[in-house]
Structure formats: C-alpha cells, structure tokens
C-alpha cells in the first residue's frame, strides 16, 4: 500500500500465484487419477486370467471401430431400416443378434453384414414373431448363450396394418400393437434384466413421426408409436440409476424396399435413405454413456411435417 492507494500489482501477483497453484493442483489430480486407473487396469487384467469378467473377456478389437467389442440385439434387422442399422453397426465392429420372422431373409442379411464388416464378427440370427412371448424369451436365451454382455438393444421391428377406424379389423389392431408395442416392451423388460446388473446399456426405440403427426387410417400404427414414446421415457427414467440410457428415434419417410415397391400416395413423398437414418442410430449408439437423445425426429427436409402442411 502506498498511502491509501491499494498496491494493485501486488494484488494481481497474488491472484496469479493462486491461479498457478490451482493449475498445478489440477495437474497433480489428473496424474493421480490416471495412475490409479492404470493400477486398477493392471489389477483387473490379472484378475481376468482367474475369474470370469464379461467386459474383460471381450475380444480385443479396440482399434477397429466405434462399436468394436460391443454387442447389439436388433429386431426387424432383415430389411428396411433394420438392415441399414445392421450394416452401420457391423461396419463399426459390433457383434450382433438380428431377428425377424423369416429365416431365409435373416441368412441373406447375415451374409451381407459379414461382407460389409471389415473384420470377423459374430452375427447370430433368430427367427420368430416379436409379439410372441415364447419367441422373445427364446431370442434372449440365444443372445445370452452367444454373448456375455448386452451393450445395445434396438427395438425396430414394425407392422403397418391400418384402415378407417370404423372398418378396422380387430386382428389388424392386435397385430400392430403386438408387433410395435408389446414386442418392444417384452424386449425392454428382458434387456433391463441383463443391463441392470451390468450397470450399463443403451436401448434405441424406433418410433415414428406418427407419434406427433398422424395420418388418416393409421389408428393402430399411430397409437403404437405414441405408446413407444411413453415406453422410451419410462425406460430412460427407470434406467437412470443403472447407467442405462434410452433413445427414441422418430423417422419421417424412409425409402425402404417395402415403400419403394408401394404405389400409395404417401410412398411418393420425399424420402431419405435407410443409410442416412442409420447414421443417426449409430450416433445414438456411440454417445458417451451419460448422454441420451430422448426424442430425435429425423426426416427429409422436403417432407411436409412442420407448420401446417
């Protein structure tokens, strides 16, 4: 101090010293954490020789892709959007179980996936109806027999029957609700039973923009997609304490084989490709575990959706 005037340079020097001290403490903490992690890694590596630890038994393919060493169960993976997601995941090194009702389609898809993969992957198939509990139980048993860990579940299989409500057959209603809602519920239930003890996992539910903008004649479908959104949110909430995330992917018009073969008016609208959509599924699958995309609407820019037409 000079008289009553504060000595600013001394004060600034003091603040600088405090910043340097804080920086050094941060560096030391980081070094300390890194060294503790290294020690723990080597202890765990040694343990893996003695005890069975699913994470450590994984094949070491760390340098091969964003999903190397990870596993996924993808329903409806034989064609359409599911096919796009299967191809995107295997290109990033993911081991998979793919399901649908038709074994021939699954065999063809598994072959295509093996060709698309850059490395030798485990690709298992399961043929069965996703709305049938025995088949879903069998699918999860098959998954557990083949894989010791479940990183990802993609609830994608879908049915589209519809018509004016006053003419809609109860069988059509039941078929769509069973495929689009009962199936994902049963899969989510069994996946949560695996993921909770892992304290890790991610579920991706393929919904639809029909959960926000309905089309006429789509009562069962739109209802199921509103339902999937609810299931997604409850799963995300219940998964919170177990490091389990749940993402809702809501596509607009996607040019699948089914839609390309159709002459319906809505199938002539602007479309995006299954591969473009699969990039978003891949992004969801590779996010840091503490991050989730709760509801993603992904659609062609030209599709009539926002506004009123």
Ligand X SMILES: NC(=O)c1ccc[n+]([C@@H]2O[C@H](COP(=O)([O-])OP(=O)(O)OC[C@H]3O[C@@H](n4cnc5c(N)ncnc54)[C@H](OP(=O)(O)O)[C@@H]3O)[C@@H](O)[C@H]2O)c1
Residues that bind ligand X (CB under 6 A): 76, 78-82, 100-102, 105, 129-131, 156-159, 179, 206, 208, 251, 253-254, 256, 258-259
86 neighbors 264 (Cβ within 8 angstroms): no
Q: How far is the CB of 144 from ligand X (least distance, A)?
A: 19
Distances (CA, A) of 77 to 61, 82, 88, 223, 304: 24, 4, 12, 23, 28
Nearer CB in complex with ligand X: 110/200: 110
Nearer CB in complex with ligand X: 79/202: 79
Q: How far is the CB of 258 from ligand X (least distance, A)?
A: 4
Q: How far is the CB of 41 from ligand X (least distance, A)?
A: 40
Q: Exposed, middle or buried by CB within 10 Å (0-12, 13-18, 19+), for 22?
A: exposed
Nearer CB in complex with ligand X: 71/179: 179
Q: Tell me the C-alpha distance between 180 and 56, whole Å.
A: 35
Nearer CB in complex with ligand X: 108/196: 108
Q: Looking up tokens 């020097």, which residue turns up?
A: 13
Helix axes 103-116, 80-91, angle to 10 degrees: 30
- Residues across the chain: 309
Q: How far is the CB of 245 from ligand X (least distance, A)?
A: 19
Nearer CB in complex with ligand X: 145/264: 264
Q: How far is the CB of 161 from ligand X (least distance, A)?
A: 10
| CA-based radius of gyration for the chain | 25
């Amino acid at each position: 101090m000079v008289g009553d005037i504060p000595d600013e340079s001394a004060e600034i020097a003091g603040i600088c010293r405090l910043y340097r001290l804080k920086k050094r403490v941060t560096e030391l903490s980081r070094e300390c954490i890194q060294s503790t992690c290294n020690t723990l890694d080597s202890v765990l590596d040694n343990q893996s020789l003695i005890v069975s630890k699913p994470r450590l038994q994984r094949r070491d393919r760390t340098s091969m892709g964003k999903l190397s060493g990870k596993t996924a169960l993808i329903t409806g993976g034989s064609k359409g959007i599911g096919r796009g997601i299967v191809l995107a995941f295997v290109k990033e090194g993911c081991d998979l179980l793919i399901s649908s009702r038709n074994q021939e389609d699954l065999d063809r898809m598994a072959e295509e996936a093996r060709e698309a993969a850059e490395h030798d992957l485990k690709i298992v198939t399961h043929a069965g109806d996703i709305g049938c509990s025995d088949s879903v139980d069998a699918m999860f048993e098959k998954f557990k027999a083949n894989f010791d860990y479940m990183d990802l579940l993609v609830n994608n299989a879908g049915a589209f029957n519809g018509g004016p409500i006053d003419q809609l057959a109860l069988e059509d209603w039941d078929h769509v609700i069973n495929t689009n809602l009962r199936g994902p519920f049963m899969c989510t239930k069994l996946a949560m039973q695996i993921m909770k003890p892992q304290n890790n996992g991610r579920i991706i539910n393929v919904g639809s923009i029909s959960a926000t903008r309905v089309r006429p004649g789509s009562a069962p479908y739109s209802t199921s997609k509103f339902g999937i959104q609810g299931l997604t949110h409850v799963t995300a909430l219940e998964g919170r304490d177990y490091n389990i995330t749940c993402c809702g992917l809501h596509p607009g018009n996607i040019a699948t084989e089914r839609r390309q073969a159709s002459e319906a008016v809505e199938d002539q609208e602007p479309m995006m490709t299954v591969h473009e959509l699969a990039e978003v599924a891949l992004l969801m699958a590779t996010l840091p575990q503490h991050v989730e995309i709760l509801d993603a609407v992904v659609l062609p820019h030209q599709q009539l959706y926002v506004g009123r037409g």
